[in-house]
Structure 1
Amino acid sequence: MTTARRRTYQLRVALSGAKPPIWRRFLVSPTMPLSELHDVLQVVMRWEDCHLHRFRHGERYYEPPNPWDDGFGPANVDSRKVQIGQLLRKPKDRIAYTYDFGDSWRHRVALQKILPFDPTVRLPACIAGKRSCPPEDCGGLWGYYEMLEALGDPGHEQHEDMVDWIGSYRPRRLQPR
């Protein structure tokens, strides 16, 4: 058994620019490919996986292969072929994760701790977090804050439309998936 397989990474993902902060803490294997980390981030942040995404570490980008890639521009690394532990090696190491290039949901993913592997813990596991994630396709942070304003003011001209669209959204509550 390799050393990496006997460790567990405690990661924290935070939605960049969100005030108050929106974040999740979760446990994963350092051998998990970035492509699977994307799947985990979609679940813990309650995104719906309807848009493109990519990771950035330093000057390199990691994303799924693009069938429409015309060969121009920088070559990106296939996220299926890179494990988390290859990029995050010590606590405080970080990678960036962008989801939905139109709304531009930017996240910081940081390695908080390297823990001994515990066979009684099923990975991945979300262990903490704060606040509900913004709903899909609400227009990025700017649109999210406008949505909150409309939802919070029954006299707002868009209040009824927002209630019809989003229902009983509770931004302060961490909603499990």
Structure 2
Amino acid sequence: MGQEVLQLRVVLRSISPLIWRRLLVRSDTSIARLHQILQVAFGWQDMHLHRFEIRGRPYGIHQDGGAFFDTNAHEALIGQLMLRRLERFTYEYDFGDGWLHDLRIEVTSLIDPKRVYPVCIAGRRAAPPEDCGGPHAFMANRSRFALMGESLSRAHLDLDGLADEVDDEDCDILSHYHPERFDRRAINRRLAALAPPSKERAADEGHRSDPY
């Protein structure tokens, strides 16, 4: 089977208005690499455990304190899982907060040799701040997080008044949080910098550099 491009729509569950991304990934993208792509696309910090669930089977990268997975996530390729168009699978990040992402393949197309993958082509809104308590806590405190983020980024926040509830790490995270911000160019710069490249991309680059 030749390599193709999968157009994925990824929606963060239990949040309104929707927080979502539309991504183009190669069919030879591993589950491990898809984890990295989603971390970048949503601006997560990869500080917590994660897992995919695809047709009832868990996939992920083992980390200390986490579950073991029967399948090597570096070898399982998304294009080999034979997912049907619009068939849903899930990605969960941070088992404490429980951020569930619903993924669906919208379109399958041919690879554009002039384009670098993965790439984000659309989306709306920033993902919630790390460790904010999960979807329900985030929805209950969304306006407060937004105000704190704006105040921190402008250095107008009275830190003494919030010393008991905002530590230095929270300040750093919240200072970059703006709920309506979606910077596709910044996301794509980070996606382009992901390493290592796929074997196929490395081979393509090698062929292009071959004078013969």
TM-score relative to the length of structure 1: 0.82
Quick one: percent identity of the two aligned structures? 35
Residues 1:15 and 1:64: Cα distance change in structure 2 (over 3 Å)? same
SS at match of 1:80: coil
Which residues in structure 2 correspond to 1:72-151 (within 5 Å)?
76-151=70-145
Q: Which runs of 5+ in 2 are unaligned?
A: 149-156, 188-212
Residues 1:143 and 1:76: Cα distance change in structure 2 (over 3 Å)? farther
User: Is structure 2 residue 14 aligned with structure 1 residue 17?
Assistant: yes
Runs of 4+ in 1 over 6 A off after TM superposition: none
Q: 1:60 matched to which residue of 2?
A: 57
TM-score relative to the length of structure 2: 0.70
> Quick one: which of 171, 182, 186 aligns to 1:174?
182
- AA partner of residue 13 (structure 2): S
Relative contact order (alpha carbons < 8 A, sep ≥ 6): 1 or 2 greater? Answer: 1
- AA partner of residue 35 (structure 2): H
Superposition deviation, residue 67 in structure 1: 5.7
Higher strand share: 1
Q: Which runs of 5+ in 1 are unaligned?
A: none
Aligned residues of 2:49 and 2:66 also touching (Cα < 8 A): no
Q: C-alpha separation between the residues in 2 aligned to 1:8 and 1:123?
A: 9
- AA partner of residue 13 (structure 1): V
Residues 1:168 and 1:61: Cα distance change in structure 2 (over 3 Å)? closer
- AA partner of residue 54 (structure 2): H
Q: 1:42 matched to which residue of 2?
A: 39
Aligned residues of 1:65 and 1:78 also touching (Cα < 8 A): no
- AA partner of residue 174 (structure 1): F
Q: C-alpha separation between the residues in 1 aligned to 2:45 and 2:176?
A: 18
Higher helix share: 2
